[in-house]
């Protein structure tokens, strides 16, 4: 008899606790670019990505492709503003960290903290560090240790993975 009373109370308690704590698990969009993104919060199917992206953006962001050197629209682009992920809109880079590396792709010596993840990439017979958007997992490019001070890093990023927001339009 005691058992039959205990269980409904236990189940009700578990449901209540779940309901209360579930609210704290919701992860809003990264509206504050200095706040680190916790986990990949945006996950779409290939079909959904194809509806949002151009063929080139899909091949690079979702299939880890690389645009031809010196072909991207932001390679020699040095206006003041911010660069966002073309997949999800997260603000990734500031123009004051962009420099002309001569490598044929947009290069930055730093990124906005918490917005990028790094992964070892041994594809194509090379040992590189891939960088992806922390929110949508989109492939951005690679990071190399031949950049300028103060970081000594070169974030070599596909133009197709980025959109640019000019300071003059803010
Ligand atoms: Fe993204």
Catalytic residue among 88, 133, 136, 156: 156
Distance 18 CA to ligand 1 centre (A): 30
Cα of 137 vs centre of ligand 1, distance in Å, is 6
Interval between CA 140 and ligand 1 midpoint (Å) = 9
What distance in angstroms lies between residue 20's CA and the mean position of ligand 1's atoms? 30
Name the residue with tokens 């969009």: 29
For residues 112 and 83, what is the distance between their CA atoms, to the nearest angstrom? 10
Cα angle: 123, vertex 138, 121; to 5 degrees:
20
Whether 115 and 133 have beta carbons less than 8 Å apart is answered as yes
Active site residue 156: yes
> Residue 85: phi, psi to the nearest 5?
-70, 130
- Candidates 52, 110, 104, 53; CA nearest to 74 is 104
Task: Give the pLDDT of residue 23.
Answer: 37
Higher pLDDT, 13 or 64: 64
- The pTM assigned to this predicted structure is 0.78
Domains in the chain, ordered, with CATH? Answer: 28-169 (2.170.150.20)
Q: Which of these, 133, 129, 112, lies nearest to 120 by C-alpha position?
A: 129
DSSP, residue by residue, 58-97: IIIIIT---PPTT-STTTT---SEEEEETTT--EEEEGGG
Percent of the residues in the chain that have a pLDDT greater than 70, as a whole number = 77
The confidence band for 59, taking pLDDT boundaries of 50, 70 and 90, is: very high
| Tokens read off for 139 | 């492939």
Question: Using one digit for the tens of pLDDT, what is the confidence trace for 83-105?
Answer: 999 999 999 999 999 999 999 99
Q: What does the pLDDT look like over 121-132, one tens digit per residue?
A: 999 999 999 999
28 CA to middle of ligand 1, Å? Answer: 14
């Amino acid at each position: 008899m005691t058992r039959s009373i205990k269980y409904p109370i236990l189940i009700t308690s578990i449901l209540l606790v779940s309901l209360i704590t579930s609210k704290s698990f919701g992860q809003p969009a990264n509206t504050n670019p200095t706040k680190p993104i916790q986990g990949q919060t945006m996950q779409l199917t290939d079909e959904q990505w194809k509806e949002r992206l151009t063929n080139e953006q899909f091949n690079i962001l979702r299939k880890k492709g690389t645009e031809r050197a010196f072909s991207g629209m932001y390679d020699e682009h040095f206006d003041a503003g911010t660069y966002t992920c073309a997949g999800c809109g997260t603000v990734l880079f500031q123009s004051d960290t962009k420099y002309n590396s001569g490598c044929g792709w947009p290069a930055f010596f730093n990124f906005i903290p918490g917005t990028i993840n790094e992964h070892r990439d041994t594809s194509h017979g090379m040992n590189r560090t891939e960088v992806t958007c922390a929110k949508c997992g989109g492939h951005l490019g690679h990071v190399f240790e031949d950049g300028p001070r103060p970081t000594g890093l070169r974030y070599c990023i596909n133009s197709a993975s980025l959109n640019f927001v000019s300071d003059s339009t803010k």
